[in-house]
């Protein structure tokens, strides 16, 4: 965990208003793992006050990538940055995906911008594990497939791929007779994660989910990001420090 | 080499410099110690400790506001036993004066906490939180009631020889009356201010944005109010004041000292820039050296009114 000014090397505009920043930082590129995040101070002024958390999207040599779309004040300001500009970055933060486990097939599930951490995860798993990706969105304009492999798509309006949500698609595709040891990696809206948690546990598939919430600090000092532990009723875990990636069995959504 | 003497005396408490870390904004020091050298900081004020561990409020606990934030953490803390066993040893290793902030819902509980910690030599002083706005019992009700503030101070005073700082609520008409009550019952200092009660609604769902409905407002948005409260106390009551509220940089810290603070605490800024305390200390030191100020304490209450 460190604070530094990182220079933006390149900005790539993907379809549907998705921005991809390539940022130079050998330190972060060397240290960061898939599912971990960076907390970015977008303005030196007091508005917006908080840093904004972003998953590391990918890593290549001395650079890392961020993927985002404009949601509000912070992301709008971030989107106005130009190559050569510096951003104030705190990180790497949090606990990412556990990929040293014993599994042969990675099932990646992303809803909307929830796909952000998966190009890096895919890069790390490629050639080592079988990868299947299920990507969902409301319409085809919300489906982001950048950096992913072996993709099946679900849209709620049916404008692309399966008509329905991505968990319904997964349920349909889950071949319960095949006994390849699978592990699910997911990130997306809470409603999606809730449905997935039930499905994964019913089918006895190990499942890690990346959760989101408002963060003030991002590194465990404000206590602003609690999530209920399933092991201990009297205990909250912190999304920023204990997560953002949790085994689905660890938490109550 | 800095020429200025940064020591400050706050009642019976002497600190190596006036820059402190505010309660609830640095936990128990572990995480922030990765960003700043705690040895350089005047003191760390712990997250409010209660007799028993507290789970805290359900989410949503925090939200951003214009130049500030609302929080309703609900005093989530490890409880006094774990604090003694796990947290004090860590802080002692870092050679930083610990000011233990205590929250309770009865006078007896305050006394019990203080008594349990009285012989912990790492603890340099107690800051008594009579003003947390985010718990149902105690907290703000105490902070709103002059008699209670006086009584808590009196009872705590009777049970400790360590310096006592009473942390005052700004959610009152005349904060100086509360400072007066604390002084009368033997407090060494007051700290001002705790957060201001605020709320926010989602206009789509019409629901409050915080689970607790109301929260405490902090950050740059509250600085002018905090300064006015410090100034009011300074003009009316002869007691050392620790200024808190929206300090983001050394200029803010100097301003708080001019308004009457003997020392300051940094809160919300730690979330945004965990290195802020060292920067503020450096800025304050440079300011003193550039202005030939030999004692940092000479800035306290140096406002010029015509
Ligand atoms: C661990 C973590 C990793 C993240 N990774 C990424 C990432 O890689 N790419 C990315 O684009 N975003 C990511 N986010 C979300 C990102 O932090 C928010 O989109 C961002 O903070 C919005 O800031 P803003 O100032 O633009 O919006 P605000 O002004 O704060 O909010 C504008 C509107 O958007 C809504 N909103 C804000 N955040 C979210 C959210 N997360 N989901 C849905 N609605 C939201 C608000 O309720 C509000 O209505 C991540 C969040 C976390 C906690
Ligand atoms: C997230 C958060 C938690 C806090 N917790 C406590 C607490 O446990 N006890 C306490 O006395 N004050 C607590 N405070 C109040 C701060 O110590 C400080 O008085 C207040 O935030 C104003 O200063 P600031 O504007 O610099 O943050 C908390 C503040 C924040 C933002
Ligand atoms: S965001 Fe501050 S503790 Fe998690």
**Chain B residues lying within 8 Å of A219, measured CB to CB:** 31, 274
Pick the residue from chain A with its C-alpha nearest to B75. Answer: A223
Buried/exposed code over B42-69 (b: 16+ C-beta within 10 A; e: otherwise): bbbbbbbbbbebbbbbebbbbbbbebbb
Q: What share of chain B is helix, strand, coil (3-state, %, to 5)?
A: 35, 20, 45
Q: Give the domain range for residue B34.
A: 8-55+74-196+218-299
Instruction: Establish if B268 touches chain A: CB-CB under 8 angstroms.
Output: yes
Q: Which residues pair with B20 in a beta bridge?
A: B43, B265
d(CA A16, CA A68): 11
- Name the token pair of B224: 């002018």
As a CATH number, domain A105-210 is 3.40.50.80
What are A11-48's pLDDT values in tens digits? 999 988 899 999 999 999 999 999 999 999 999 999 99
Does residue B204 belong to any structural domain of this protein?
A: no
* Averaged confidence pLDDT in chain A: 95
**Cβ separation B62–A1 shorter than 8 A:** no
Tell me the CA end-to-end span of chain A in Å, nearest whole number.
27
Residue ranges of the domains in chain A?
Answer: 2-93, 105-210
Is residue B37 one of the residues assigned to a domain? yes
pLDDT of residue B138: 52
Q: What is the pLDDT of residue A1?
A: 84
B24 CB neighbours in chain A (<8 A) are: 222-223
B32–A contact, CB cutoff 8 A: yes
More confident: A51 or A174 = A51
pLDDT single digits (tens) A182-207: 999 999 999 999 999 999 999 999 99
d(CA A28, CA A11): 18
Q: Quote the minimal CA–CA distance from A227 to chain B in Å.
A: 8
Among A42, A75, A89, A217, the strongest candidate for a mutation testing the B interface, having the largest count of B CBs within 10 A, is: A217
As a whole number of angstroms, the distance between CA B180 and CA B20 comes to 23
* pLDDT given at position B134: 57
ipTM topping 0.90: yes
To the question of pTM greater than 0.90 for the whole model, the response is: yes
B122/A141 Cα distance (integer angstroms): 59
Domains held by chain B: number: 1
pLDDT band at residue A176 under the 50/70/90 scheme: low
Asked if the structure places residue B66 within a domain, the reply is no
Helix (H, G, I), strand (E, B) or coil at B233: helix
What is the rounded CA–CA span in Å between residue B72 and residue B212?
6
* pLDDT of residue A90 exceeding 60: yes
For residue B252, report the distance from its CA to the centre of ligand 2, in Å. Answer: 17
Q: Given the CA of residue B45, which atom of ligand 2 is nearest to it?
A: 17
The DSSP output letter for B42 is S
pLDDT of residue B132: 64
Residues 179-198 of chain B whose Cβ lies under 8 A from any Cβ of chain A = none
For residue A212, report the distance from its CA to the centre of ligand 1, in Å.
8
Which is higher by pLDDT, A178 or B259?
Answer: B259
Level-2 CATH architecture, domain A2-93: Beta Barrel (2.40)
Q: What is the largest CA-CA distance in chain A?
A: 57
Q: Would you state the pLDDT for residue A112? A: 93
pLDDT digits (tens, 9 = 90+) for A59-73: 999 999 999 999 999
Q: How far apart are CA A125 and CA A108, in angstroms?
A: 11
CATH of the domain at B132: 3.20.20.70
pLDDT given for residue B133 in this prediction:
60
Predicted confidence pLDDT, tens digits, chain B (306 residues): 558 999 999 988 999 999 999 999 999 999 999 999 999 999 999 999 999 999 999 999 999 999 999 999 999 999 999 999 999 999 999 999 999 999 998 899 999 999 999 999 999 999 999 976 655 555 567 888 999 999 999 999 999 999 999 999 999 999 999 999 999 999 999 999 999 999 999 999 999 999 999 999 999 999 999 999 999 999 999 999 999 999 999 999 999 999 999 999 999 999 999 999 999 999 999 999 999 999 999 999 999 998
pLDDT at B12: 85
Identify which of B306, B294, B289, B297 has the alpha carbon closest to the alpha carbon of residue B258.
B297
Q: Are the beta carbons of A194 and A185 closer than 8 angstroms?
A: no
In this predicted structure, what is the pLDDT of residue A196?
Answer: 97
Peptide bond into B193 cis (omega under 30): yes
Q: What is the mean pLDDT of residues A97-121?
A: 95
What angle is formed at CA A49 by the lines to CA A45 and CA A55, rounded to 5 degrees?
Answer: 115
Q: Which residue is closest in CA terms to ligand 1's atom 19?
A: A71
Residue A211 has pLDDT above 60, yes or no: yes
Can you name the residues that pair with A185 across neighbouring β-strands? Answer: A108, A208
In ligand 1, the atom with minimum distance to the C-alpha of A214 is 53
Report how far ligand 2's centroid is from the alpha carbon of B25 (Å).
6
How far apart are the C-alpha atoms of B68 and B162, rounded to whole Å?
34
Exposure class string for B269-282: b at 16+ Cβ within 10 A, else e: bbbbbbebbbbbbe
């Amino acid at each position: 965990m460190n604070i530094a000014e990182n220079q933006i090397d390149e900005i790539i505009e993907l379809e549907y208003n998705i921005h991809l920043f390539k940022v130079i930082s050998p330190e972060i590129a060397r240290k960061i793992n898939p599912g971990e995040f960076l907390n970015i101070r977008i303005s030196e002024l007091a508005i917006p006050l908080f840093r904004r958390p972003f998953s590391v999207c990918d890593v290549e040599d001395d650079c890392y990538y961020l993927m985002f779309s404009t949601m509000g004040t912070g992301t709008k300001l971030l989107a106005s940055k130009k190559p050569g500009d510096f951003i104030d970055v705190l990180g790497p933060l949090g606990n990412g995906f556990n990929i040293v486990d014993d599994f042969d097939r990675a099932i990646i599930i992303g809803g909307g911008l929830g796909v952000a951490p998966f190009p890096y995860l895919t890069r790390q798993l490629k050639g080592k594990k079988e990868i299947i990706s299920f990507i969902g969105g409301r319409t085809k304009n919300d489906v982001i497939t950048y950096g992913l492999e072996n993709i099946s798509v679900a849209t709620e309006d049916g404008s692309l791929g399966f008509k329905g949500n991505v968990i319904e698609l997964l349920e349909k595709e889950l071949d319960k007779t095949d006994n390849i040891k699978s592990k699910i990696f997911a990130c997306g809206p809470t409603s999606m994660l809730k449905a997935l948690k039930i499905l994964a546990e019913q089918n006895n598939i190990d499942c890690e989910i990346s959760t989101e919430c408002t963060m003030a600090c991002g590194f465990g000092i404000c206590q602003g990001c609690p999530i209920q532990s399933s092991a201990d009723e009297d205990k909250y875990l912190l999304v920023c420090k204990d997560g953002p990636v949790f085994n689905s069995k660890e938490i109550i959504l | 080499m800095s020429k200025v003497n940064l020591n400050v005396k706050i009642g019976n408490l002497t600190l190596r410099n006036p820059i402190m870390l505010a309660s609830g904004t640095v936990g128990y020091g572990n995480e922030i110690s990765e960003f700043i050298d705690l040895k350089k900081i005047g003191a760390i004020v712990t997250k409010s400790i209660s007799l028993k561990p507290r789970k805290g409020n359900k989410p949503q606990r925090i939200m951003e506001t214009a130049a500030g934030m609302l929080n309703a953490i609900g005093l989530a803390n490890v409880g006094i036993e774990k604090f003694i066993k796990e947290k004090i040893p860590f802080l002692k290793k870092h050679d930083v004066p610990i000011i233990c902030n205590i929250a309770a819902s009865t006078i007896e509980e305050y006394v019990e906490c203080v008594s349990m910690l009285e012989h912990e030599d790492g603890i340099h002083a107690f800051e008594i939180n009579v003003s947390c706005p985010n718990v149902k019992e105690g907290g703000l009700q105490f902070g709103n009631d002059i008699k209670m503030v006086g009584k808590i101070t009196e009872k705590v005073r009777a049970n400790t020889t360590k310096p006592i700082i009473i942390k005052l609520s700004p959610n009152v008409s005349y904060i100086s009356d509360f400072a007066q009550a604390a002084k009368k019952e033997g407090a060494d200092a007051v700290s001002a201010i705790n957060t201001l009660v605020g709320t926010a609604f989602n206009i789509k769902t019409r629901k409050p944005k915080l689970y607790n409905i109301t929260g405490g407002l902090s950050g740059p948005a509250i600085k002018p109010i905090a300064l006015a409260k410090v100034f009011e106390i300074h003009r009316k009551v002869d007691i050392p004041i620790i200024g808190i509220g929206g300090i983001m940089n050394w200029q803010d810290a100097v301003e708080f000292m001019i308004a009457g603070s003997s020392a300051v605490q940094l809160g919300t800024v730690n979330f945004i820039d965990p290195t802020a305390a060292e920067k503020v200390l450096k800025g304050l030191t440079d300011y003193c050296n550039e202005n030939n100020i030999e004692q940092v304490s000479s800035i306290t209450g140096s406002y010029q009114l015509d």
